[in-house]
Every structure is written in structure tokens, then in C-alpha cells.
């Protein structure tokens, strides 16, 4: 399954990365090596694909450079390798977003799956009590919102194939890993069964909290009811994604938010 992202970009799996088309800007991807994510894995000594994933932050159409800067918005793209990390699927290390100096908030994020099968794992806090925990089961075209301040990680749910996604982020993005690494990961580990499916295993370094496994929803309260690629929002209706860099605009939405 594949989803068209709304601008000319191709995802490559060998090597992991991206090819930018006409009128598209973007950096060379950063490669996340296995050693860099070991502190958040269930088995830090495991073997697996290396690099684990490639990420390019600040990608888009040349004609949108100015408005992206003005609005403190940034579009990022990521591709995950196929394979496993020991008994876990390929995934990112869990993190919380750094508080942005211009908003005073730990910014939210808007994901859109492009290829493969993803699980977006989220928990309210990286502290001993993780609060509510969710795993959102997402496929190409699905969107997932990460609320402000939540710890989260992205999982390639099918070890046989790569997985890629795009995401709207605050331009002053930053990843805070300390609390997650201190507990060797997030509150629930995804494990690959002998049948190739995903089961979840509680991380005993956290207080036990129920894990809710859900499907993506439309997020009508955030102006995301329409089904075109999220990149097109910067041209069609940029105000509709301003909450990413200015979360206070929809402060009421974040109270008891369900991803």
C-alpha cells in the first residue's frame, strides 16, 4: 500500500533515504544508528538493521519556504528499515518534544503514514506514572496527532517491509530522551510474535497503566476532517495547522485529549 504525499518526493529503502523532485527542497537525511537507540530498547545488546531509520527535517516546495518560516512550521519525513531489533520491531526511541521558546509549549505533532504499517505509541508522561497509554494502528493515508508534552515512539509494525511517514512539526523542534532512557524505554514494549504480529509487554520500570489500542480518527476538532495529503494544508489552509507551533490556540482541545 502506498499514499501520495502531495509533492514530488520518493522514498528509498536501499539505501534508506529520499529523492527530491522538481521544486522540492530538503536536506540529506540523518541516519539513526542502532547504537544511538539502544538505551530505549528492551534488549540493549540486540542485533538489528543499522541504520534503523533515516530522517530529513525541513522538506517542502520552494514556494512555501517563506510561509513555513513565518509560521514556525516544518515538515519532516522518515523511513524505517525492515527487520527486527531483537524481539522488538524496528522503531524509534521514545522521547518528549523540547519546550519551544516561542510558544512555551512542548509542541504537538501531526503524522501521516505514507507506506507500510505503523503503530504510533503514546503515553501522557515519561515519569514513573505514565498516565494514559495508547497504540494507534495506522496504514497509508492515516493521520495521528501527538498531543503536547506526551512521550511517544513510532513503530514499523511489519518486519518484512520498510515504513515511511511525513509529519508537521514546530520549526524549533527538539527531542528530550533522558526520562525515557532512564527507564529503558517507554511504558509498553512492542514485541514480534512467532506469527509476525505485534504484542505489547509492560515495562516494569513504570507503574502499570492500561494500554488502549485504537484506530486513527479524523480529529475534526483540529480541522483535519478532510482527506487530502496533510502537506497541502500549508497552501490550502495554513491557519488549520497553526496549532502545531501555537498549541495555545486550541488549548481547550488538549484537555483530556484522546489521540
Domain range list for the chain: 9-250
Tens digits of residue pLDDT in 167-192: 999 999 999 999 999 999 999 999 99
Neighbours of 248 (CB within 10 A): 11
Contact assessment for residue 11 and residue 114, using Cβ atoms and an 8 Å cutoff: yes
Decide if pLDDT at 1 tops 60: no
> What pLDDT digit, counting tens, does each position of 68-121 carry?
999 999 999 999 999 999 999 999 999 999 999 999 999 999 999 999 999 999
Distances, alpha carbon 258 to alpha carbons 24, 213, 218, in Å: 34, 12, 12
d(CA 237, CA 233): 5
Residues 34-60 have a mean pLDDT of 97
Query: What count of Cα atoms within 13 Å lies in the side-chain half-sphere of residue 60?
Result: 25
Domain 9-250: which CATH number of 2.60.40.10, 2.60.120.10, 1.10.357.10, 3.40.140.10: 2.60.120.10
Residue that the C-alpha cell 496504514 belongs to: 139
Note the pLDDT of residue 138: 97
Q: Is the pLDDT of residue 228 over 90?
A: no
* Distance (Å, whole) CA 126 – CA 36: 19
Mean pLDDT of the chain: 96
Predicted confidence band at 154 (pLDDT cuts at 50, 70, 90)?
very high
pLDDT at residue 134 is higher than 60:
yes
Reference 231, options 219, 240, 218; nearest CA is: 240
C-alpha cell of 83?
527487520
Grid cell for residue 84: 527486527
Taking 60 as the threshold, does the pLDDT of residue 225 lie above it?
yes
Q: Give the integer Cα–Cα distance in Å for 167 and 62.
A: 18
Assign residue 63 a region: left if phi > 0, alpha if psi is -120 to 50, beta otherwise?
Answer: alpha
What 3-state class would DSSP assign to 242?
helix
Helix H or strand E segment including 115 = strand 109-115
User: What is the rounded average pLDDT of the residues 28-44?
Assistant: 96
Amino acid at each position: 500500500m502506498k499514499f501520495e504525499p502531495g509533492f514530488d518526493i520518493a522514498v528509498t529503502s536501499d539505501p534508506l533515504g529520499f529523492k527530491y523532485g522538481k521544486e522540492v527542497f530538503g536536506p540529506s537525511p540523518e541516519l539513526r544508528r542502532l547504537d544511538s537507540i539502544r538505551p530505549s530498547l528492551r534488549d540493549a545488546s540486540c542485533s538489528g538493521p543499522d541504520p534503523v531509520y533515516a530522517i530529513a527535517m525541513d522538506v517542502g516546495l520552494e514556494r512555501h519556504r517563506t510561509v513555513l518560516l513565518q509560521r514556525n512550521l516544518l515538515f519532516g519525513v522518515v523511513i524505517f528499515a525492515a527487520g527486527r531489533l531483537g524481539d522488538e520491531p524496528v522503531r524509534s526511541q521514545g522521547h518528549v518534544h523540547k519546550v519551544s521558546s516561542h510558544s512555551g509549549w512542548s509542541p504537538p505533532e501531526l503524522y501521516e503514514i505514507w507506506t507500510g504499517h505503523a503503530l504510533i505509541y503514546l503515553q501522557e508522561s515519561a515519569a514513573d506514572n505514565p498516565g494514559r497509554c495508547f497504540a494507534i494502528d495506522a496504514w497509508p493515508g492515516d493521520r495521528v496527532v501527538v498531543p503536547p508534552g506526551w512521550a511517544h515512539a513510532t513503530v514499523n509494525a511489519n518486519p518484512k517491509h520498510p515504513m515511511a511517514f511525513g509529519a508537521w512539526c514546530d520549526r524549533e523542534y527538539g527531542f528530550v530522551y533522558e526520562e525515557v532512557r532512564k527507564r529503558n524505554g517507554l511504558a509498553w514494549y512492542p514485541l514480534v510474535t512467532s506469527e509476525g504480529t505485534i504484542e505489547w509487554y509492560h515495562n516494569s520500570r513504570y507503574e502499570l497503566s492500561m494500554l488502549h489500542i485504537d484506530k486513527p480518527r479524523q480529529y475534526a476538532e483540529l480541522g483535519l476532517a478532510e482527506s487530502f495529503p496533510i502537506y497541502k494544508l500549508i497552501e490550502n489552509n495554513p491557519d488549520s495547522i497553526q496549532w502545531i507551533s501555537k498549541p495555545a490556540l486550541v488549548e481547550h482541545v488538549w484537555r483530556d485529549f484522546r489521540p
